[in-house]
Amino acid sequence: MDLQNMVKEALGILYHHPDDAVRTRADRWLQDFQRTIDAWQVSDNLLHDASSNIETLIFCSQTLRSKVQRDFEELPPEAFGPLRDSLFGLLKKFNKGLPKVRTQITIAVAALAVHVPVEKWGGGGIVNWLNDGMKSHPEYIPSFLELLAVLPQEAYSYKIAARPERRRQFEKELIASTEVALSILTACLSFDELKEQVLDAFASWLRLSHVIPASTLASHPLVHAGLSCLGSEQYLEAAVNVISELIHYTVAGNSGAEQMPLIHVLVPRVMGLKEQLRDSSKDEEDVKAIARLFADMGDSYVDLIATGSDESMLIVQALLEVASHSDYDISSMTYNFWHHLQVKLTRRDSYLSYGSEVAIETERNRRLTCFRAPFELLVSLVAFRVTYPQDYQSLSEEDQKDFKQTRYVVSDVLVDAAAVLGGELTLKILFMKLLQAIEKGASDENSNWQPVEAALFCMQAIAKFIPRQEAEVMPQVMSFLPKLPHQPRLLQTVCSTIGAYSKWISTAPAELSVLAPVVDILTRGMSTSEDSATAAAIAFKYICEDCSKMFCQSLDGLFHIYHIAISGEGGYKVSSDDSMHLVEALSVVITELPPEHAKKAMELVCMPAITPLLDITKLGGVSLQEIPARQLTVHIDRLGCIFRNVNLPETVADAVLRFWPIFKAIFDHRAWDMRTMESLCRACKYAVRTCGSYLGITIGAMLEEVQLLYPQHSQPCFLYLSSEVIKMFGSDPSCSSYLKSLIETLFNHTTKLLTKIQDFTARPDIADDCFLLASRCIRYCADLFVFSSVFPLLIDCAMIGITIQHRDACKSILTFLSDVFNLTNSSAGEKYRSIVNGVVLPRGATLTRILIASFTGALPPSRLEEVAYVLLSLTRTYGSSVLEWAKEIINLIPSTVITDAERMSFLKALSDVASGSDSSSLNDTLEELSDVCRRNRTVQDIVQGALRPLDLNITTAVS
């Protein structure tokens, strides 16, 4: 069976066979086929074949498009002419049918134009070629118009495997052809049936460049066609796209007086659409299109609008009209504008041109006053949108998610309003809505809780703008809260509001007696629903943080709440995760206690966590090993939270010492269990961070456990615990013997675990924590690390692991290497230079090769910046040697992949770094070379095959 029939049969199986496994095999075969050189001819033949069905045509058009984009280099130079002519024939063939196929063909032609220089198209490039085709074959103008629209869109496409220089040249060629393109489009305006296509293509060319003067565009037939079509339902969407692009055109680049002729044409015509926003007979999609035009105008002209001129205020009124629309999707189109306007009005740098501080403040106050009324209205227009719908419970999960997202967005708008109006004025507006909702509830038995909740939610959003001394509204709000119904969602928001205003509560006058009612509300929230319990627990944390001194006198009540919540008794619905907020809350309060009381309070706060751990460890080895990890970690995590937040080093250290036998038992019997070890090491890390040297003998016992257990169980958490110890004690000479032994034990074992790239891929957590620890060693105890026997082992290990795909592990390895090179360049690094040189220089060529391989394809493009920094550090340190290595390595890449000019550009950038003259161009040069070497899979495979980053025994490039 020939390939064409095999493709047809495979497609038939893919779309129609009942067996999933058979369809999967067919799909895999078709994907493999697309990568072959035969795919060119087979796809072309089947597209020209009148008997091909729709499935075959779609598949083959996609294949041909992809081949032109990615694999054009597979073809010999003489193939261009026949390929162009074939694609031209296909454009004509599908002129009036199968839009999906025609679109793929047009993209293929555009990609071909990117690959092939202008002269190959016959003088004026593809646009002139297209113009000639339209004149000689006017019956195929629709296909040619689609191609004309696609060309500017493909100018920046990185799907096309063209060299960066060629891509830039193509952009210049298209820009030079702009007038020809617009003249073609102008000529096509006479055909009504083509008007939408013409407008779409015009918008596309406007996005490409801004070479046509605004004064010329102001009277251009295409612009007036777009404006006239704003009144047409048939062409409205296309017209809006054009006018939107023209608006952007007037603010791109030069936005001075030369743009005003076009602005004077556009703005009045757009403003004339304002009435249509309220036209109920108007199609919803048309209203959306018009609203989008106003939103674009607002975003684009925000600098002008912010001046507060009479003309700009007309635009603001129109945008308020959009914001008032009942459809949230339409209203929300303006929200970006209000944010940008707020930034322009409130930031000082918007007024620097006014010179003196007095002039700046005067102008700022004038503008804020000017925009006060619009922002006041905006608050009222958006506040109602957070009101829970009556049928919320019956909404789909997706709709509920959308509603919650709406609330977050509206919160941001209210924050913008408060930034302009000030918190107190915004609060008064929202408080009036709260009063209205409460009064309506008092007079109407059928009233709902939703309006009250909405007002409180909005007030919560602006809490950070409310001064602590605010004495008019907040006392009234706080007096209302205990009287509100206990509806779960309302109570949840009440609790969140309390948390948001914790700073105001901390300074509230004593005569208001705010704290006790607040605590009652929060305890009620913890027993009403899971959501209200979450909000209450978080609010407790904020209240305790800001009112910690006030709580010192009422610890018994706090501990009572805490113990009930932790124990799960008393009807509280606080989850174990949310209970951490209460743990943190109590810990903050304990920090404020005098030492003699803090020790007792520490025992009380730790008791609900340490008692069950003690009971478990008393069961003995077998039972301790069999118990589910969650029964341990929930308590250990609470202790870790306490160690982290009780900022009393001696008190915490005393507690850790008392608890150490329990911790040691868990270490000894659960070292195989990653979850438990991560939890315990995290708790120990917080203890080290809080206590420092106060830990005394406990830190020694902790390190003994790590040294003993890590070689047995290889838990990465032992490494990050050790990182904290190194940070805290690395520079302490009295700890050097301890730490030297620790470093050697950990790194010796790790380098035995990570001997090939597959090991790194299998255990990225080990790699990540290992090299984070190594970087810590360089910063805090370089003497112990660099002079140790493990230092060269870590360099070798890092070289093996550079190409790991795991982001964090890769970043840690690259950071470690740059830290090593930077160490020798530092003022304190002289004493390490000979050691580092002795390790790095014999490996330098191989390391350079791996780094070059990494940014040319072995690592994702997102790692480029980190790889570039390592290469930069290496070059700064070893200058001429790196240049020699790089020259030999870059020459390994065949000339079919990179040109001599690209090689020289790379070496020149490295030379500039080596000479100390300039490093700014290195990133750009590497990015360009990376793009060249990744332009398609074939090229990337050739580069990686030449550089072989995973083969550390290569000697070709080693000098």
For the chain, state the CA radius of gyration: 35
For residue 959, what pLDDT is reported?
33
- In sequence order, the 6+-apart residues with CB closer than 8 A to the CB of 189 are 195, 198, 221, 222, 225
Following CA atoms 693, 699, 700, 704 in sequence, which dihedral angle do they give, to the nearest 10 degrees? -160
DSSP 8-state assignment for residue 856? I
Count of alpha carbons within 13 angstroms of residue 486, beta-carbon side: 11
Angle (CA) 254-259-260 rounded to 5° is: 145
Structure tokens at 462: 């602006």
pLDDT at 160: 93
This model's pTM is above 0.85? yes
Q: What is the pLDDT of residue 355?
A: 87
Phi, psi angle pair for 643, to nearest 5°? -60, -35
* Per-residue pLDDT at 625: 87
> In order along the chain (959 residues), what is the average pLDDT of each group of 10 residues?
90 94 96 95 95 96 96 93 95 91 96 92 87 91 95 90 91 93 94 94 93 92 96 92 94 75 93 88 90 95 93 95 94 97 94 91 95 97 94 93 96 98 97 92 70 96 96 95 93 97 92 89 94 95 91 81 83 90 94 90 94 90 87 96 96 96 96 97 97 92 95 96 95 90 96 96 97 97 95 97 97 98 87 95 96 97 96 95 96 94 95 85 93 93 94 54
Helices 674-691, 629-645: inter-axial angle, 10-degree rounding:
10
Residues 291, 332 contacting (CB under 8 angstroms): no
Q: Classify burial at 737, counting beta carbons within 10 Å of its beta carbon; exposed 0-12, middle 13-18, buried 19 or more.
A: exposed
The Cα–Cα gap between 526 and 555 comes to 18
Rounded Cα distance between 313 and 290, Å, is 19
**Residue 444: its pLDDT value, please?**
62
For 706, counting Cβ atoms within 10 Å of its Cβ (0-12 exposed, 13-18 middle, 19+ buried), the class is buried
Cβ(13)–Cβ(26) below 8 Å: yes
What pLDDT sits at residue 612?
A: 94
